[in-house]
Amino acid sequence: MTDTNANNATFTVGDTNVEFERVSATQGSDGFSIAPLLAKTGTVTLDPGFVNTASCTSDITYISGSEGILRYRGYPIEELAENCSFLEVAYLLIYGELPNPTSLAAFGRRINEHTLLHEDFKRFFTAFPSQGHPMAILQSGIAGMATYYEHTLDPKDEEQLDMASILLLAKVPTMIAYIAKRAIGLPLLYPDSSRYYTEDFIRMTFGLPYQGEEIDPLVVRALDTLLILHADHEQNCSTSTVRLVGSAQANLYSSVASGVGALSGPLHGGANEAVMRMLREIRDAGLTVDEFVSQVKDKKNSVRLMGFGHRVYKNFDPRARIVKSLADEILPRLGSENELFDIAKSLEEAALSDEYFVARRLYPNVDFYTGLIYEAMGFPAKMFTPLFALGRLPGWIAQYRELINDPTQRIGRPRQVYTGETERHWIPREERQTADLLHLSDSLNVAKL
C-alpha cells in the first residue's frame, strides 16, 4: 500500500488500484476505510483477533498503550477516579458530559426509583443451582429483563433507550447482590432507595435483616473507585460483542447480556481471580519471589505472572497505579491478609527490574491488585467478575447508544477467507469411510437431568 497524498492510500491488487479514504482521529491512529476493496478487487482483508482493525469511530474512550493514558470523554482516568462518583462517570460515559448537580441528582433519583426487582423475577434466581457461576446467572437475568420491560426495547426511541439504560443501571446491582446472597443461603434484602448506589449495593450484598446497616464510607469510596476504573475500555472483547449484537438492533438487554458472556471468559474478565490463586500458591508452596519469577521465565513451564502484561498497554496500565495506592490505603484498614499483599508487592518489584519483563514491556495491569481489595472487602472470588461487569455497565450502554445513533453503522457482518473443501458430493451412509469424530467418553460425569 502506498500513500498517494496526505490523506488517502492506494492499494493495488493485480492491475486494479483502490483508493482508501483516510479517516482522521483526534488522537491516536488514523484509519483507512477499506470498504470498497471487495467490490473493486474481489478480495478482503484478513485480521484474526482484530489486532489492526477498527470496527467503528468512537468519541467515548481514548487509550494510548505506549504512553499509559486512559481518558473517558477526554477526562484523564486519574482525575475522574480522584474526584467523581461512579454515577457521575456513568453519566459522563453515556451522555458525553459531566453532569451538573441538578442532572446528577435527577439521574441518581431515576436509578433509585427502579432498583427493586419484580417479585417473580426474584424467584427466577432460585431456578438456578445455588453454586452455579454468578456470571451465567447474571447473563440470564439481564437477558430476561427484556421480558419484564417490553416498552423499553426499541433502540431507535430515545425515551425507551434512556429508560432501558436506567433500568439496567438500577437492577444489575440488586441482581448481583441477590446472586451473592443466594450462593451462601442468606436472605435477600430489598434495595433502599435513600442510599447512594454503591453503598446500597454493599448493604444488599453483606447486610442481614435486623442488623445495623452502617456501611464503612471508605469501603464505599474504594468500590466506587474500582467501578470507575472498569467503566469503559474502548473496543475490548465484551464491548465489541455488545456492539455486534446491537448492530442487529437487538435490544439493549440482549446486547449487554452478550457482553456479560464475553466478559466471563478467563482471558478477559477472570484474571483478578487468577492473581489471587497465584499468590496463594506461592505462599502455600513456600516459594520465594525469585523462585517463582524463575518459573515464569522458564519457557518449559506455562506459568505466567498473572495480572501482568496487556495487549494495549506497553508502558504501564494507569488503572494499576490507582489500584495499588488504593490497596495501600485500604488493606491495612480492613485488616486483611497482608501476607498476600506483601508477596504481590515483592513480585511487582522483582518483575519491574527483571530483564525478561522489561524487554517484553510487561507491567502490572488493573487486575494485579484488585482481587486483594475485593477479597478484603469480603467478596468471594466467584464475585470478582460480576463486579467487573457492574463497573463496565455504563461503558457497554454508552457504546451501544453510540452505535445505534451512528448513521454509518450497518449490521456487523465480517467476511472470511474460506479454506475448506471445494465442492464434493453426497455418498450413501454405508459407503462412508470417515472416522468417528465425536470426542465423548463416559469419563465426563454429566447428570441426565
Residue nearest to ligand ACO (CB): 309
Residues 273 and 371: beta-carbon distance below 8 Å: yes
Residues 235 and 398: beta-carbon distance below 8 Å: no
Torsion of CA 417, 423, 424, 425, to 10 degrees: 130
Q: How far is CA 128 from the centre of its chain?
A: 24
Residues 200 and 207: beta-carbon distance below 8 Å: no
The sheet with strand 2-3 has its strands ordered as 2-3, 9-13, 16-23, 31-33
Q: Does 149 bind ligand ACO (CB under 6 A)?
A: no
Smallest distance from ligand ACO to CB 323, Å: 11
Residue with smaller CB distance to ligand ACO, 80 or 215 = 80
Site for ligand ACO in 376-395 (CB under 6 A): none
Count CA atoms within 13 Å of residue 444 on its CB side.
Answer: 6
Looking at 184-216, list the stretches that DSSP marks H as alpha helix, in order from N- to C-terminal side: 197-206
| Percent helix / strand / coil, the chain, rounded to 5 | 55, 5, 40
Residue with smaller CB distance to ligand ACO, 271 or 289 = 271
297 to 316: interface string for ligand ACO, x by CB under 6 A: -------xxxxxxxx-----
Site for ligand ACO in 115-144 (CB under 6 A): none
Minimal CA–CA distance to 202: which of 377, 55, 339, 85?
377
Smallest distance from ligand ACO to CB 89, Å: 17
| CA gap 75, 407 in Å, rounded | 26
Catalytic residue among 367, 406, 436, 439: 367
C-alpha cell at 410: 450497518
Site for ligand ACO in 277-296 (CB under 6 A): 296
Burial (CB count within 10 angstroms: exposed 0-12, middle 13-18, buried 19+), residue 26? exposed
Smallest distance from ligand ACO to CB 228, Å: 14
Smallest distance from ligand ACO to CB 359, Å: 9
Smallest distance from ligand ACO to CB 167, Å: 26
Residue with smaller CB distance to ligand ACO, 41 or 294 = 294
Strand partners of residue 32? 22
Torsion of CA 169, 171, 174, 177, to 10 degrees: -70
Strand partners of residue 11? 18
Is 367 assigned a catalytic role?
yes
172 to 201: interface string for ligand ACO, x by CB under 6 A: ------------------------------
Minimal CA–CA distance to 269: which of 143, 93, 391?
391
Site for ligand ACO in 10-39 (CB under 6 A): none
Residue with smaller CB distance to ligand ACO, 178 or 308 = 308
Q: What CA–CA distances, in Å, run from 132 to 118, 140, 189?
A: 22, 12, 20
Smallest distance from ligand ACO to CB 241, Å: 14
Q: What CA–CA distances, in Å, run from 286 to 280, 282, 283, 292?
A: 10, 6, 5, 10
Residue tagged 453503522 (cell numbers): 409
Smallest distance from ligand ACO to CB 294, Å: 12
Which residue type occupies 418?
Y
Residue with smaller CB distance to ligand ACO, 331 or 366 = 366
Residue with smaller CB distance to ligand ACO, 135 or 362 = 362
Smallest distance from ligand ACO to CB 211, Å: 35
| CA gap 230, 387 in Å, rounded | 9
Give the pairing of strands 61-64 and 9-13.
Answer: unpaired
Counting residues that bind ligand ACO (by CB under 6 A) gives 16
Residue with smaller CB distance to ligand ACO, 161 or 293 = 293
251 to 270: interface string for ligand ACO, x by CB under 6 A: -----------------x--
Interface residue with ligand ACO, options 80, 89, 168, 271 (CB under 6 A): 271
Site for ligand ACO in 344-373 (CB under 6 A): 360, 362, 365-367
Residue with smaller CB distance to ligand ACO, 153 or 366 = 366
Catalytic residue among 59, 310, 328, 342: 310
| CA gap 243, 396 in Å, rounded | 8
Overall size of the chain counted in residues: 449
Smallest distance from ligand ACO to CB 59, Å: 22
Residue with smaller CB distance to ligand ACO, 133 or 268 = 268
Is 354 assigned a catalytic role?
no
Active site residues: 310, 367
* Binding interface with ligand ACO (CB under 6 A): 268, 271, 296, 304-311, 360, 362, 365-367
